[in-house]
A and B are shown apart, each in its own frame.
Chain A
Amino acid sequence: MMPVQITGMMVLQMVVSGLLAGGLYALVALGLSLIFGVMRVINVAHGALLMLGAYTTYWLFAWFGMNPFLSLLLSVPILFVIGAILQTLFVHRVVYAPELSSLLLTFGISIFIANVAMLAWSADYRSVEFLTGSFILGQIAVSKPRLVSFAVALGLTGLAFLFLNRTKTGKAIRATSEHRDVAQVCGINVRRIDWITFGLGAGLAGAGGSLVSVMFAVYPEMGQIYVFKSFLVIVLGGAGNYPGAFFGGLLLGLVEGLASLFLTAQLSEVIAYILLVIILLVRPTGLLGGRT
């Protein structure tokens, strides 16, 4: 391989691209973190839900030419309902069971959803060609779809925080995640909080999928990689630490961006993995602290 001179501009470019990607990771990971916080369930089906969000946007765009960012108004509620149904039918039965059960259960759900999607829509790669091109700022190129997606992701994350901090239901979710039994004793209907949380988590995954579809190919197994990434993000930020998920997302984007510059894009996943294992060992509560 030809050695390439790495300039400060290139580093800055990767920092910007990395952060843009990171905003999206933060949004997707927040959903996983919420569900984990409240139910101690790692929802392995999170990626499959993201994929459903992406297809919602794709079909609305393909059939009606709907603006993909407007389609969030549909993908989020649709995924909320799917999440709430999954919770009520399946997941609530394993909330108190050993982790093995909930992991395997959501793993099974994930495989099921992905393969039904393959049957229904084939394994073809599809794309939503809506925004293309880049803004040029000095010597830095910022892709338009990424920038808009980042802004929307940030906005949605902000809304989610407002919901968690200001509304009664949001506070109940945080209380349940702090201490499930105490919350119940205090009169919070945790069963209700469970399905709202799962719906919310799925809705956030769906929103992430809608935003991903503007930038990358849409196909049934597209979500798989996001399960691992979201998990990495909540480990970085501290499990059950919701602001941590936000910073963890940006951090992962940054690390990936720089890894692809200094190494190769192919190995950035390997770097992310090594990072995960090291963090888990050194600071199991996450870089920003959290609950174990």
Chain B
Amino acid sequence: MMTGVLGLLLAAVGGLAILPLFASGYLISFTIQVFMWMALAGSWNLISGFTGYVSFGHVAFFGIGAYTGGLLITKAGWHWLPAGLAGCLPAVALALVIGYPCLRLKGPYFAIAMLGLNEVVRALVSYFEGFTGGGSGVSLPPILSIVPVYYAMGGVAVAVTLLTYRIITSQFGLRLLSIREDEIAAEVMGINTALLKLYAFLLSAAFPGIVGGFYAWYASHIEPLSVFPLLTTITMIIMCLFGGQGTVLGPVLGAVLLSVFQELVWARFLFVHQAIFGALIVGVVLLMPRGILGVLQERYRLPRTI
């Protein structure tokens, strides 16, 4: 069973690696979107899926990464690749500053603190107009080819997924899951929950920062409203929940399925699409809180590390 899954995965990765050689521009840009969501949903999974600490403000890391990438390219003249990678630095720094106090808060306190965080970062970015361009944002030079971005985003998506696998098969991962199941018991067992949560949070913030950095280059224009939308956080959450939180391939599956649905069915009607996302969250929480993979794991005794 496991080797079958592995073979399938390798074939998929191989196919995706050569996709830009023959695919249309449309398919490539669609796949970039899917990679982006895989990385974002996978990052949300690292903190919220593993520890049960719901982050309602994860898009803050994406947004701050986007601004870092955008400003390094336009103001410092950096190449887009290092500029995008550098997006992780302020994201991790923000996660450290905010995570150190906030992760000591239990359940709902953390969630709402994160909801506030995104508003605050957006307010600050708009406020420092001279540096960030305020409401009108940052315009970047147009990109000549999206193929490099395709590989860059794909690389981040693969990195997040591999890291998730690495974590879930390690003691670190087991300990994180023990926090989700019963934090007090975990503490009593001698697990330093505060430190572990912080590590997970930092990892979980780094990738949205990089994705944001690449996004700035890809989108050619960023502004506070386009890089800090609540909808991005909602999408990360629902993709991860739908595929299966706390699993390796859950966010991947969720990102692929929901991106395809989004593209085929409801992309043109923004409010319908958001309302459906809302209804989906309610449905998934009530009917299959462990997501598709969680259900499959239970029913077919699939390994926990899938």
Contact = CB atoms under 8 A, between A and B. Distances in A.
B41 to A, nearest CB: 14
B285 A94 contact: yes
User: Which among B101, B237, B274 has the greatest number of chain A C-beta atoms within 10 A?
Assistant: B274
Interface stretch (B9-17, B87-95, B123-131): B123-131
Interface in B93-139: 98, 101-102, 104-109, 111-113, 115-117, 119-120, 123-124, 126-127
Q: Which interface class (under 10, 10 to 19, 20 to 34, 35 or more) fits B?
A: 35 or more
Contacts of A110: 278
Interface in B52-89: 52, 54, 56
B272 A119 contact: yes
Contacts of B116: 228, 232, 272-273, 276
Contacts of B108: 36, 42, 99, 103
Nearest to A292: B106
Interface stretch (A54-62, A68-76, A164-172, A263-271): A263-271
Contact of B56 (A36, A107, A118, A266): A107
Contacts of B119: 225, 228, 269, 273
Interface string B204-243: 0000000000000000000000000010001001000100
B293 to A, nearest CB: 17
B275 A119 contact: yes
Given A94-B285, A100-B52, A103-B107, A112 B113 contact: no
Contacts of B286: 90, 93-94, 105
Interface stretch (A9-17, A135-143, A194-202, A277-285): A277-285
A231 B115 CA distance: 11
User: Which among A99, A267, A272 has the greatest number of chain B C-beta atoms within 10 A?
Assistant: A99
User: Which among B116, B126, B127, B230 has the greatest number of chain A C-beta atoms within 10 A?
Assistant: B116
A111 interface: yes
A91 B55 CA distance: 20
Interface string A228-272: 100110010000000000000000000000000000101101101
A155 interface: no
A93 B284 CA distance: 13
B279 interface: yes
A112 B54 contact: no
Contacts of A105: 281-282, 285-286
A232 B237 CA distance: 24
Contacts of A281: 101, 104
A280 B100 CA distance: 12
Contacts of B257: none
A231 B234 contact: no
A111 B278 contact: yes
A115 interface: yes
A109 B275 contact: no
B162 to A, nearest CB: 25
A3 interface: no
B280 interface: yes
Contacts of A235: 109
B113 A104 contact: no
Contacts of A228: 112, 115-116, 119
Contacts of B106: 99, 292
Q: Which interface class (under 10, 10 to 19, 20 to 34, 35 or more) fits A?
A: 35 or more
B300 interface: no
A112 B112 contact: no
B113 A280 contact: yes
B134 to A, nearest CB: 11
Nearest to A123: B271
Interface string A81-124: 00000000010011001111101110111111111101100000
B113 A277 contact: yes
Contact of B54 (A36, A100, A115, A266): A100
B30 interface: no
A277 B279 contact: no
Contacts of B234: 107, 111
A267 B237 CA distance: 29
A105 to B, nearest CB: 5
Contacts of B285: 94, 101, 104-105, 108
A77 B289 CA distance: 33
A273 to B, nearest CB: 5
Nearest to B97: A277
A227 interface: yes
Given A101-B289, A280-B105, A115 B275 contact: yes
A110 B285 CA distance: 14
16 contacts: A44-B111, A90-B282, A93-B286, A94-B286, A100-B54, A104-B54, A107-B56, A107-B234, A111-B278, A114-B274, A114-B278, A115-B271, A228-B112, A272-B116, A280-B105, A284-B109
Interface of A: 36, 42, 44, 90, 93-94, 97-101, 103-105, 107-116, 118-119, 224-225, 227-228, 231-232, 235, 264, 266-267, 269-270, 272-273, 276-277, 280-281, 284, 292
Given A36-B108, A99-B54, A269-B119, 6 more contacts: A101-B285, A103-B56, A107-B281, A114-B278, A115-B271, A280-B105
